[in-house]
Amino acid sequence: MTTRQMLYSDHPILGPVFTSPPWKIFLCASAAACLFLLLPAIALGLHSIPTAKGNLGLLFSYNWSLMYPVVIPLLLAMTVAVSERMRDCVAKLEENGRISSRSAIDSRGYAEALTEYLRSRARILLLVVLVISVLVTLIDTYNLWIGFLPGHLPPPSRKPEWDTAFNVMNWGAAYASPEFSLYLNAPPSKAGNLFFDLVAYIFQGTAYFLLLFWIGKFFLFLTAFAQLIGGANPSYQFNPLTDDLDLRMGLKPMGRLFDNFLAITLIIEGYAFYHRLHLIKLANNQPLMTYVTRTMSKIVFPEQSATVPYPLTHLTELFKKESWALNGLDVSAILTIVFMSVPIFVVCFLPLWKIRTLIEQRRTEEMEKLQKEHSAALAARNFDRVQLVQYEKQSLEQANIWPNGDLRARQYLTVILALAAGALAPPLLAIVLVLSFSRILPRYFRNVFHK
């Protein structure tokens, strides 16, 4: 069974996209970004807008000029590669006997049952992702399009940037500079700016759609694993490998999937954090390092207070709105935080609470079985069998709950949590990392992961 047949059989358009060679997807997506974003921006004069507050052109907005020609193609190429590993994972688990049918009547293999599960939910997934992508794009640009209506200007809530460059005459004296004065001699037309904005935000919506679609497919893949093996009436069962030298109970193929998905999540989190910093820079109208140094100095060396004791002044400075930079938390930032929470939900909720419970339950059942074998071997004075069963019991007791290893999972989740917290409030990034290095956060994860 091919990857397209297993995962994308009901997606005649998206199936070929997510089953093409990764290098081809990267090159095609990168070329499309250059063709539809970078070149038109240069042609319309939106690529460079030098002002006293920095260059506000598209080429200098790295959340566009770097994100779509490089990062998004990289993420899409990684999703294609992981799709192939999803198929290989199912094939290996079934071939090695880690997943087997509970009933001799049902002749279907686990791969066929998984394919039917995904096929039955293919249209719903497509509709949900399409609606979410359209809503996200509309909410992100709700205050942009009104500025293009006759007799209207962009509202103050829309920060001056390349998408409203036709309005540079009204940006104010704060943006004045010699280079900006030259740009004012030939500003972009309203029609040209509108055309480019339509193309740019359709491109952004398409990128949202493709990434959300694949995340949804991975979500369904993990849900199928939990439902088919540990649902109300499971048709299949997980058979732990009791003498696994990797201490993964035979789930190492799934561990590679988790590593790849966590790497994709890490890139998304990193972009969300950078995007938050970019919005803070626009909102404060000052270099980003000015905000960073000023905020950190206030937190590390807080001002004395007559009502708050000294050690607590660190916390009061931390939770001030100036430290959180709430003036940079606009609709775009909120959407970014929501969008990045989707991978966290998929990674943490399903594997940690559903699949983890299933694996733990099967390990307990296997331990009870081995205990009975151990007692029977002792009664029969079969000491060779006693030693073998003891080794298998020790392997199960030391086995990792996460298929990719508990230590690696903790490391990934610590960084992901730090970036997620930093996207909400940048100082929280340092707080989470400090908690991690002080062993408080690892101790919490250890309590969650450990049996």
Query: Per the structure block, which two tokens stand in for 441?
Result: 């956060």
User: What pLDDT is stored for residue 308 in this prediction?
Assistant: 66
- d(C-alpha 352, C-alpha 350), whole Å: 6
CA dihedral 292, 298, 301, 305 (to 10 degrees): -170
Cα 122 from Cα 116, distance rounded (Å): 10
Q: How far apart are CA 139 and CA 210, in angstroms?
A: 18
Contact 343, 215 (CB under 8 A): yes
Element (H, E) at 155: none
Distances, alpha carbon 385 to alpha carbons 78, 245, 370, 381, 392, in Å:
46, 19, 11, 9, 11
Looking at residue 318, what is its pLDDT?
67
Distances (CA, A) of 442 to 269, 344, 408: 20, 18, 11
Hey, what long-range contacts does 288-293 have (CB within 8 A, 24 or more apart)?
291/325, 292/426
Question: What is the pLDDT at residue 192?
Answer: 92
pLDDT tens, residue by residue, 77-113: 999 999 998 888 888 888 888 787 776 555 678 888 8
The residues, any chain, with a CB within 8 Å of residue 311's CB and separated by 6 or more, are none
Q: How far is CA 17 from CA 21, 224, 263, in A?
A: 9, 23, 21
What amino acid is encoded at 297 in this protein? S
Query: Do the beta carbons of residue 406 and residue 425 sit within 8 Å?
Result: no
List, for residues 201-238, the tens digit of each pLDDT value: 999 999 989 988 998 898 888 888 877 777 666 777 77
Distance CA 79, CA 20 (A): 11
**pLDDT attached to residue 27:** 95
Contacts of 64 (CB under 8 A, 6+ apart): 37, 58, 200
**How many Cβ atoms from other residues are within 10 Å of residue 408's Cβ?**
15
Residues of the chain with pLDDT under 50: 448-449, 451
Provide the residue type at 291 as one letter. Answer: Y
Query: Helix, strand or coil for residue 241?
Result: coil
Q: Are 264 and 343 in contact (CB under 8 A)?
A: yes
- Cα distances (Å, whole numbers) of residue 444 to 435, 447, 450: 10, 5, 10
Alpha helices in 380-439 (DSSP H): 383-398, 406-424, 427-437
In this prediction the pTM is: 0.81
